[in-house]
Each structure stands twice: as C-alpha cells, then as structure tokens.
Amino acid sequence: MKIPTGCTYYDSISGFLKDVTALTTAEEIEKANGKRRWQGGSTWEEAFALTASGDTSAVQKANSIMEHVDDNITVKGNRPCWNTAPAGAFPNVPAYLANAPETMYQRQNTRGDKRAINIFYSPSSSGDINADKVFNRGVTVLALAMQLSRTKDVNIHFFTARDLGNHVVRLTAPMVLSESAHILTNVGFIRGISLRLSRSLGWGGNWASWLDRDDDEATVKNIRNYYCLSDDDIIIPPMQKRKQDPLSNPVEYINNILKKHSL
C-alpha cells in the first residue's frame, strides 16, 4: 500500500485519536453535537470515548448474518482436515480408550496460508442516507471480517473518500473484536469523529476525484491504483444513494466475496 500526498495514514486507533484531539476544532465538535440523529444518536464525546475503549454491541447482529453464510466455501490457502475435538462426525477410538477429553474427529479448516487478507472499507456515504443504513452496512463488513478470521488473519483498513482531509486508519491486527465492531458500525465515529476531523483539515463536502459516481467497479479499480493495493485485497467503496448497494443483501454479498477467495 502507498499513501498518496494529502492523505494521512494511522497505524493505530490511538495515533488517530491523538490527532483528533489536537486538530478537531471546537466549532466542528459543536456542529457534530447539533446533528446527533444524523450521527446515530451519539454525541461527539460519547463516540470519542467508545472509540478509545471499543464496543461489541454490534457483534450479535453480525453473528446473526454469519449463521446464514455458506460454511462450505473454503477460503484460498486453507486446508480442510480432520482434527480431534469434544464433538464431531465420528469417534477417535484410541483417544477414547486412553480416556482423552477430545474423542471425536471434526472437519476443520486450518491456516495453511499465513498471508493475511486485507479489507479496505470506506464508510463514506451520501449525506441523505440515513444512519441505520450506514450502521447496517458496517455490520455486514464486520460479519465478513469475522467469517474470514475463522481461518485467516484479517487486516482492516478504514479509509475516507473526500477531496481533502482524507485519512486511512489501520485497525489492530490480529483483529480486536471490540475495536473493529465499533469503528466499522458506529455512526457517531463515522459521521462525527472521522468526518469532523476532515472538516477541520479543510474538507468542504466534495467527493474524491477518483470516485466514479456511475460505476462501482471503476471506483474499486481507481482505489486499487490510488493506494497501490493488491488484486487479492477486498475493497469496499463508499455508499451512494442513487445506486443499489451490494451490501444491502449481507449473506449474498459475503458468500460472493468468499467465493472470490475460495480454492
């Protein structure tokens, strides 16, 4: 990955919050607190506190999506094998005779390929998209990351899609669930903390020049070139109201991503 001129890269949430504290103006914080409904109901201060501590309130909803994801799709690099476990498909007779605790064989995917999967997610959206849609989209990305992390290491990068004040934040790896769940889904962070930092750095409300308003595939290609990303990296572009968002069908979207990375 290459960070373009004018874009700030943060390798941790703590580094990002340090700049947020130093650079976000009191005027922008006041504006954020005047748009609580648009920001999911939280104040700037509440969103900031949860960004520092993490929050798992969205995990249950992500788990409900994962229950319907196709578990038979094997992600590239993982090797299916039979491992001993307390429950499984058939017994491990020697283990049973030895009075071992794990006396069954269970088919599992192991981490045969140590290369991590990178997810680049932009939660930027048209201003007239309601907060619930922003939250639900983040839950879908969280469910995707959780599904992939069962058999692969996952690196998550949060990035903005503005003409000024852009930033990329690399979340903790291996994935910390409380941190990832909050950053991906909390509208107070997305439209409060992140957006207000961009405002303080001169952003006036325009999209990035590389965003194609009519073609998501072109946007993904542009993002890949802009940040010099690999063909294997998963890129999730901003959400625009006039387009059908593929993440609006979470299970279908996740299954399609898994198939692209399957054996």
> pLDDT tens across 224-247, in order?
999 999 998 999 999 987 777 889
**49 Cα distance to chain centroid:** 20
Closest residue by Cα to residue 138 from 238, 51, 17, 32:
238
- 64: which 2 tokens? 């409900």
Cβ–Cβ < 8 Å for 263, 152:
no
Q: Is residue 162's pLDDT more than 60?
A: yes
Identify the helix (H) or strand (E) that includes residue 83.
strand 79-85
Q: In whole angstroms, how far apart are CA 33 and each of 123, 191, 198?
A: 20, 11, 16
Q: Lowest-pLDDT range, 31-35, 145-149, 208-212? A: 208-212
pLDDT band at 73 (very low <50, low <70, confident <90, very high): confident
> What is the dihedral sign for C-alpha 68, 73, 74, 76?
negative
pLDDT band at 113 (very low <50, low <70, confident <90, very high): low
Average model confidence (pLDDT) across the chain: 88
Mean pLDDT of 206-225: 89
pTM of structure: 0.85
**197 Cα distance to chain centroid:** 20
Percent of the chain with pLDDT over 90: 66
- 80: which 2 tokens? 């299916």
pLDDT band at 112 (very low <50, low <70, confident <90, very high): low
Q: How far apart are CA 33 and CA 187, in angstroms?
A: 13
Cβ–Cβ < 8 Å for 153, 199:
no
**What residue segments make up the domains of the chain, in order of their start?**
7-70+114-260, 79-110
b/e per residue 116-154 (b: at least 16 CB within 10 A): bbbbbbbbbbeeebebebbbbbbbbbbbbbbbbbebbbb
- In sequence order, the β-bridge partners of residue 236 are 121
Q: Is residue 96's pLDDT more than 90?
A: no
Q: Is residue 9's pLDDT more than 60?
A: yes
Quote the pLDDT of residue 110. Answer: 59
pLDDT band at 114 (very low <50, low <70, confident <90, very high): low
Mean pLDDT of 152-161: 93
CA angle at residue 52 from 50 to 53, to 5 degrees?
Answer: 65
- 262: which 2 tokens? 């399957």
pLDDT band at 15 (very low <50, low <70, confident <90, very high): very high
Quote the pLDDT of residue 23. Answer: 94
